[in-house]
Structure 1
Amino acid sequence: MRLLNKKTKVSKEKSKEQEVEPLLSEKLDQEEFDSFFSEVLKKIPQKTSKVILNTYEKSKKVAETILEKNQVKFDHVFEDFLKGVDPITRKKSHRIIHAASLTAAIIGCSPIPFSDAFLLVPVQLTMMARLHKLFGQPWSESLGKSLSKELVVVSLGRSAVGNLVKFVPAVGTVTGAAINATVASAITESLGWVTVKMLNDGEDIFEQVMSFKGQFQTLFRALKTVSKK
């Protein structure tokens, strides 16, 4: 009888842990996003950050919907790409990458009258800095600046399409913003997982920029293929 009671007690404790874990994870996700978003806002022009904050609630709702749709489409692509990365590392990395992707999507949804590509760079550099810290690898602002040009080249061609749509009167800003947000978040998430893969494999991104760009292009091409289905 005592053994049965002990088992029941253990079972109840496990059940409580299972209930608490998602809530804790959600809390950590929110804390990571709040911290990430605040850090990025400090790195972009003040006028631009005011525009983003003025439409924050509306933009965030649209951005979250876009990320949910992307997750359904893209998760298996990232799953295949990340073979060899252990589940705990993926979970910790995902928290950072999700915060970055959501921030990028919010910027994409904001009515900013110039290319979002340049605004994505602070988002992506902040993400990469945090991922390097997670893996215990060195990062400095000077190293980040050396990657800035590469990130603009990678991002500019993609997000420019959304900006063109933004300013076509017949289409309007909402559709253009949604396209921008979708592209911005997909680019950012892809860059994040490429960073994780390279760090996990012991590759130095700064010394192997061509490998970094090549892996990004391969992964982003796979996402584009899935999007067409």
Structure 2
Amino acid sequence: MNKKQRKKAHLIIHGASSAAAAIGGGMAQLPVSDSTALIPLQTAMIIALGKVFDKKLTEGAAKSLATQVVAQQAGKMTARFFAGKIPVAGNIINATTAAAITESYGWMIAREFSEEAEQALKKH
């Protein structure tokens, strides 16, 4: 990943993580999981990262990737859901976890897209 790509990825991922924190913190005491709001956010992040690395993704493919991370993190999200019922502390826990999951997932996707782009260049 070159400097320009890293900088763009940094802005996209941190922006999505900040939004995820706001969603997680804001939805802490609601009786629904915040994953319904996080999946579209993470889908948009994946599509934006794809553009940085010239990877064409359909919205369906990006949503599938975002849904996959939600499934992988189901245990953490369930614990966070119940901890989120605690006023103030729950908001902080939910916000921090949503941001951390989105941040780590964003960088994982960015590295994967970068490696795929480098391999494609080597083939040509």
Shared fold, TM over 0.5:
yes
CA contact (8 A) 2:23 2:95 kept: yes
How far did residue 87 of structure 1 move?
A: 2.5
> Of 88, 98, 102, which aligns to 1:184?
98
CA contact (8 A) 2:33 2:81 kept: yes
SS at match of 1:173: coil
| Partner amino acid, structure 2, of 1:185 | A
Q: Spell out, residue by residue over 1:51-79, the C-alpha distance to the aligned partner (whole angstroms, 9 max, x if none).
A: xxxxxxxxxxxxxxxxxxxxxxxxxxxxx
1:118 counterpart residue number = 36
2:110 counterpart residue number = 196
Deviates more, 1:144-153 or 1:85-94: 144-153
| Partner amino acid, structure 2, of 1:123 | L
CA RMSD of aligned residues (A): 1.7
For residues 163-178 of structure 1, the aligned pairs below 5 Å read: 163-167=81-85, 172-178=86-92
How far did residue 86 of structure 1 move?
A: 2.6
Distance between the aligned counterparts of 2:66 and 2:6, measured in 1? 25
Distance between the aligned counterparts of 1:158 and 1:89, measured in 2? 30
CA contact (8 A) 1:162 1:177 kept: no
Aligned identity (percent) is: 37
2:70 counterpart residue number = 152
For residues 1-229 of structure 1, the aligned pairs below 5 Å read: 85-111=1-27, 112-167=30-85, 172-202=86-116
Larger Rg: 1
Q: Aligned pairs, how many?
A: 115
CA contact (8 A) 2:21 2:98 kept: yes
Structure 2 unmatched runs, 5+: 118-124
CA contact (8 A) 1:109 1:177 kept: yes
How far did residue 148 of structure 1 move?
A: 4.5
TM-score by length of 1: 0.47
Structure 1 unmatched runs, 5+: 1-84, 204-229
Structure 1 residues 146 and 178, CA, compared in 2 at 3 Å: closer, same or farther? same
TM-score by length of 2: 0.82
